[in-house]
Amino acid sequence: MQHSTSSALVVSGWHRMSYNFHDNTLISQHLESLIRKLHAFVGNAVTQDRYIVFGAGSTQVLSAAAYALSLANSSSSHSPTRVVASVPYYALYKQQVEYFNSEKFKYEGDAHTWRNRSESDASTNVIEFVTSPNNPDGLLNKAVLHGPNVKTIYDRAYYWPHFTPIPAPADEDLMVFTLSKLTGHAGSRFGWAVVKDETVFNKMVLHMQVNSIGVSKDTQLRAFKLLKAILEEEAQIFDFAYQTMKSRWERLATTLSFSNRFSLQKINPQYCFFYNKVRESSPAYAWVKCEKEEDKDCYTVLKAANIIGRKGNVFGSDDNYVRLSLVRSQDDFDILIQRLQKLVSEEDGAISM
């Protein structure tokens, strides 16, 4: 809203009508260049000598990555590639694999249960999704599995200064980002992957061509305009977003610090090279645990207080956990805090607020 003119977009009715750009690709080279400049400015990802592929949000990019890596793994075995992620994991990984029901891969749950098997069984191909920072708990996760038969997809959607310290540029073989967690424009449906291997990149591009003939040119144009405005304003958005998320996390943590019934995840401070200081995380979500034995269904406990989250079992965890979102309108967040304060104040033995 503060930069409404520089981020505004008006498109003529005759503009960008064909499938391809002038270089006969489905990817705007101007937008790709801006993405590389943004990563270099923030210092959150290595893009030099890497390929970049676009998708309809990280949702489509993650699907394309799984297809590309399952094909890359398939030469040594006819059995499906096993797909795993560490608990608690982002629910979409499991949902996509099970929904598409492909012979190429099968969801196998928690990566930790496969640690010994993946290293001892050379015939089993594995794809591990690593969300870092993690959704739902904000931790900077690292891969659990290693070996020649293991491929890793790093979901870096939240690896921006407003959510986490940036201890170093991410430098994995396949990293996924999304506009929705960078600028908040979730409805524009734009995501991208930074890919080291050319063969994997080409397979992902083919998947996009077959699946949707690339990403909408209108979406790419809007993403270009937004990123251009961010860089022209010297990335003021990060300071604004960081202060907003920092304030929200502190208010939430303070509220629950008076509770004997609920607890929050612990995230250790780290040195951030973007801000050149040691700082706390300011995560997108609160991973709330109901501590009392009788509160086995934490979702129901909170819903009774008119607080709606997502159940722990959605993330492969126990139902004494609930995810609460901090990425919402300020009015919604204020109401969340008010209802949490009321709930905590009604506890037996709660510390006076």
Distances (CA, A) of 77 to 71, 106, 121, 123, 137: 11, 14, 12, 6, 35
55 DSSP 8-state letter: E
In a domain, 4, yes or no: no
**Running along the chain, 353 residues long, what does each successive block of 10 average in pLDDT?**
87 86 90 97 97 96 94 63 96 93 90 76 85 98 94 98 97 98 94 97 95 93 95 90 98 97 97 97 98 96 97 97 97 98 86 61
Let me know whether 128 and 277 are in one domain: no
pLDDT of residue 228: 95
CATH label of the domain that carries residue 256: 3.90.1150.10
Q: List strand residue ranges (DSSP E) for 75-166, in order.
A: 81-85, 105-110, 126-131, 150-155
pTM for this model (two decimals)? 0.94
Overall number of domains in the chain:
2
Let me know whether 267 and 211 are in one domain: no
Cβ pair 153, 132 in contact under 8 A:
no
Measured distance CA(30)–CA(16) in Å, rounded? 14
Measured distance CA(171)–CA(156) in Å, rounded? 11
Domain boundary among 218, 233, 248: 233
pLDDT of residue 78: 63
3-state secondary structure at position 91: helix
Which residue in the block uniquely carries the two structure tokens 């006076």?
352
Let me know whether 278 and 348 are in one domain: yes
Measured distance CA(55)–CA(180) in Å, rounded? 12
Domain boundary among 201, 233, 265: 233
Measured distance CA(63)–CA(58) in Å, rounded? 8
Let me know whether 189 and 243 are in one domain: no
Strand partners of residue 295 = none
Q: What is the domain extent for residue 265?
A: 236-352
Let me know whether 175 and 283 are in one domain: no
| Nearest alpha-carbon partner for 302 in 316, 282, 315, 288 | 288
Domain boundary among 215, 233, 251: 233
| Nearest alpha-carbon partner for 256 in 167, 353, 143, 328 | 353
Measured distance CA(259)–CA(14) in Å, rounded? 59
Let me know whether 224 and 244 are in one domain: no
Residue length of the chain:
353
Q: How do strand 126-131 and strand 150-155 relate by DSSP bridges?
A: parallel
In a domain, 253, yes or no: yes
